[in-house]
Structure 1
């Protein structure tokens, strides 16, 4: 397994798609701190700092790293079959399970590095803006990265399933991009419209009911979108009480949000295990010729 991990880790770090996606992400990510600095908007509390970090990492960073995770998985197996390197690897004293296990761990480590890079840039940007640093910021950053890593593992596993079904790596890339477009953009928009139609597109819009209906519909109809499940979880990091005229905002943190949304966390874990089992089963049974 270590041999497969070492080989795949080196190859993954040399792939153009890794550095292109990270480069584009940083080009869009870093200027946001500059514009916020230029606008004169300060960050006075740790809670505000965490909110900004959540928005950046879970929003922009999560989207681009999700693309990276799915594309890496979608070409993990079929590209090796096309190049003939998989048969060479299987001629060595290594089992199929050890090979795919090492490859999968390598991809997970690469995605984790991308997440940590995004987080470090985010924290550095917050420090540059003068935001107070504290244990709450560190704790919530770690918890958020843990959730995102679980989501990315799910997408890598989904990519592996694609890679073991679609023989052509170029076709698999196209399939992965279509899935990203439909699953991450079209379906969430449809579900949001459904929630809005049932609550606020009327003569008496109810924004509180819309938020609850949106969470319900996202959990029910978008259970296969890991980043959406994270959105549902982190949306409860801030608790609003009181009336409209005098709202009281209480920051409960990512830990409190996770405890309140154990169903969504269970969906993340459960579907990740299902995808992993299917991917490994497909590889162990597939014809490598």
Structure 2
């Protein structure tokens, strides 16, 4: 397994799509801090700092790294078969389970590095904007990264399923992009409209009822969208009380948000295990010629 991990880790770090996606993400991410600084907006509390990280890392970062995760997984196996490198690897004294296990761990490590890079830049940005450097800032940043890593691992596992069922790597890439478009853009918009239709578009529009209904629908109908499940979880890191005109905002932390949403955390973990089980089983049984 270590042999497969080391080989795949080196290859993944040399792929152009990794650095292109990270480069594009940084070009869009970093200027946001500069614009916020130029406008005179400063961050004074840990809650404001983590909220900024959530908006940046969980928004822009998770979208781009999510694309990277799914694309990495979608070409993990079929591209090796096309190149003939998988047959060479299997000619060595290594079992299939060890090979795919090492490959999966390597991809997880690469995504973790990408998330950590994004987080480090995010923390530097919020500190530059005046955020206090406290233990809670680091702790909540790590918890947020843990959630995001679990989501990205789920997308890698989903990509593995595509890679083991679709022989052509180019076709698998196309299918992966369609999945990203439908899962990340179309379905969340449909669910948000359903929640708005039941609350805001009724005779007595109620914003609080919309938020509660949106959370309910996202948990129930978008359980297969890992980033949406994270959105639901981190939304409870801040408690808003009072009316719309004079809201009282209290930051309670990522840890509290995770404890408050066990169903969403279960959705993340359970589907990841299911996808991995399907992908590993398929790889162990498939014809590698």
**TM-score band, normalised by the shorter chain?**
over 0.9
Between the aligned partners of 1:230 and 1:130, the Cα distance in structure 2 is 27
Q: Specify the alignment match of 1:170 in structure 2.
A: 170
1:157-188 Cα distance to aligned partner (Å, 9 max, x none):
00000000000000000000000000000000
Q: In 1, distance between residues paired with 2:226 and 2:104?
A: 18
- Aligned partners of 2:135 and 2:34: how far apart in 1? 25
2:212 aligned with 1:247:
no
- 1:156-167 superposed matches below 5 A: 156-167=156-167
Q: Pairwise mapping of residues 121-132 of structure 1 onto structure 2 (< 5 A)?
A: 121-132=121-132
Which residue pairs with 2:102 in the alignment?
A: 102
Match of 1:84 in 2: 84
CA deviations over 1:232-285 (Å, ceiling 9, x no partner): 000000011233444322111000001110010011111000000001000000
* Structure 2: distance between partners of 1:183 and 1:244: 32
- Structure 2 residues not aligned, in runs of 5+: none
For residues 1-289 of structure 1, the aligned pairs below 5 Å read: 1-289=1-289
In structure 2, C-alpha distance between the alignment counterparts of 1:122 and 1:245, rounded to whole Å: 31
Please state whether the residue corresponding to 2:236 is helix, strand or coil: coil
Deviations, residues 19-73 of structure 1 (Å, cap 9, x unaligned)? 1100000000000000000000111111111110111010000000000000000
Q: In the TM superposition, what is the alpha-carbon distance from 1:204 to its structure 2 partner?
A: 2.1
Describe the SS at the equivalent of 1:239.
strand
Q: Give the number of equivalent residue pairs.
A: 289
Q: Distance in 1 between matches of 2:36 and 2:16?
A: 31
| In structure 1, C-alpha distance between the alignment counterparts of 2:3 and 2:208, rounded to whole Å | 54
Distance of 2:53 and 2:283 partners within structure 1: 38
Q: C-alpha separation between the residues in 2 aligned to 1:219 and 1:244?
A: 25
> What CA deviation, in whole Å up to 9, does each residue of 1:61-119 have, x standing for no partner?
00000000000000000000000000000000000000000000000000000000000
Q: In structure 1, how many angstroms separate the alpha carbons of the residues matched to 2:4 and 2:20?
A: 24
| TM-score (ref. length: structure 2) | 0.99
SS in structure 2 at match of 1:235: helix
SS in structure 2 of the partner of residue 250 of structure 1: strand
Rounded Cα–Cα distance in structure 1 between residues aligned with 2:182 and 2:245: 39
